[in-house]
């Protein structure tokens, strides 16, 4: 089981895998097989019409939330003022800006129309952790050239720590593993994530970027030499993943956190 193609994922939360539980990962019983839950396919590449009732209500609730004016950070309905200050950190953000500029330069006219947004766009708030296409925006990595995807990964790598980058890539690659288990390429895949750039990458004005997709949401705002990265979601449907070189780029066992 540990090295078989369909047995490398011991447990897949949300896919009906046997023995799924919180806490320490548990192995499947000897000889057991993963049993992906049977349900209608919901596209991750375009908005399905009509949406199932549950997703329709989800989308309506999300749109209602986005329609509300964003005021600031609060815990009780009253805005918390002066929570953060803009100040010099002494750490250059030039590598992030250079990576973003290289990415934007590589985009064609149609891709730029999809990927570039004003800094204050409500696209910042239009992200969704679930896999169906509900509020997606930006340019889909699956529709880009390998060179363009490399530039996107270079932007993510320049913005995150080494551990943060490895976590993000692990989530994306596990999404490919789920595609193979479920045989649903319209729903899952390593590159079914959307990249948006808000504002103009510059040293003298705020700008940022966002990746939006299944179990991976990264929002990064750059203000001079300060970086604000929130909200971030880096989750995984897998509780335990055995040795699989193509997923993790290594030979040892890996457990997503």
- Written in H, E and C, the secondary structure of the chain is CCCCCCCCEEEECCCCCCCCCCCCCCCCCCCCCCCCCCCCCCCCCCCCCCCCHHHHHHHHHHHHHHHCCCCCCECCCCECCCCCCCCCCCCCCHHHHHHHHHHHHHCCHHHHHHHEECCCCHHHHCCCCCCCCCCCCCEEHHHCCHHHHHHHHHHHHHHCCHHHHHHHHHHHHHHHHHHHHHCCCCCCCCCCEEEEEECCCCCCCCEEEEEEECCEEEEEEEECCEEECCCEEECCCEEEECCCHHHHCCCCCECCC
Give the pLDDT of residue 113: 96
Per-residue pLDDT tens over the stretch 38-48: 555 665 666 66
Give the pLDDT of residue 118: 96
Give the pLDDT of residue 3: 31
Give the pLDDT of residue 23: 39
Q: Are strands 207-213 and 193-198 parallel, antiparallel or unpaired?
A: antiparallel
Give the pLDDT of residue 252: 34
Give the pLDDT of residue 131: 74
Give the pLDDT of residue 49: 66
Give the pLDDT of residue 211: 94
223 Rama class: left (phi>0) / alpha (psi -120 to 50) / beta: beta
Q: Are strands 193-198 and 139-140 parallel, antiparallel or unpaired?
A: antiparallel
pTM of structure: 0.73
d(CA 39, CA 35): 12
Low-confidence ranges of the chain (pLDDT < 70): 1-49, 236-257
Give the pLDDT of residue 45: 62
């Amino acid at each position: 089981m540990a090295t078989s193609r369909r047995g490398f994922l011991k447990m897949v939360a949300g896919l009906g895998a046997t023995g799924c539980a919180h806490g320490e990962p548990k192995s499947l019983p000897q000889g057991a097989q993963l049993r992906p839950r049977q349900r209608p396919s919901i596209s991750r590449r375009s908005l399905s019409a009509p949406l199932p009732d549950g997703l329709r209500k989800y989308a309506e609730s999300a749109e209602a939330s986005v329609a509300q004016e964003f005021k600031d950070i609060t815990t009780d309905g009253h805005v918390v003022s002066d929570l953060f200050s803009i100040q010099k950190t002494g750490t250059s953000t030039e590598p992030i800006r250079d990576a973003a500029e290289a990415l934007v330069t590589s985009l064609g006219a149609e891709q730029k129309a999809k990927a570039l947004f004003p800094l204050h766009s409500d696209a910042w708030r239009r992200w969704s952790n679930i896999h169906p296409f509900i509020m997606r925006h930006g340019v889909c990595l699956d529709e880009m050239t390998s060179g363009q995807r490399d530039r996107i990964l270079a932007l993510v790598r320049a913005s995150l720590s080494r551990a943060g980058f490895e976590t993000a890539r692990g989530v994306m690659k596990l999404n490919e593993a789920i595609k193979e288990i479920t045989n649903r390429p319209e729903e899952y895949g390593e590159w079914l994530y959307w990249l948006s750039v808000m504002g103009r990458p510059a040293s003298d004005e705020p700008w940022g970027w966002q990746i939006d997709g299944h179990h991976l949401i990264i929002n990064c705002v750059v203000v001079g030499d300060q970086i604000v990265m929130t909200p971030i979601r880096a989750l995984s449907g897998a509780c335990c993943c055995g040795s699989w070189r193509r997923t993790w780029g290594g030979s040892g066992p890996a457990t997503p956190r």
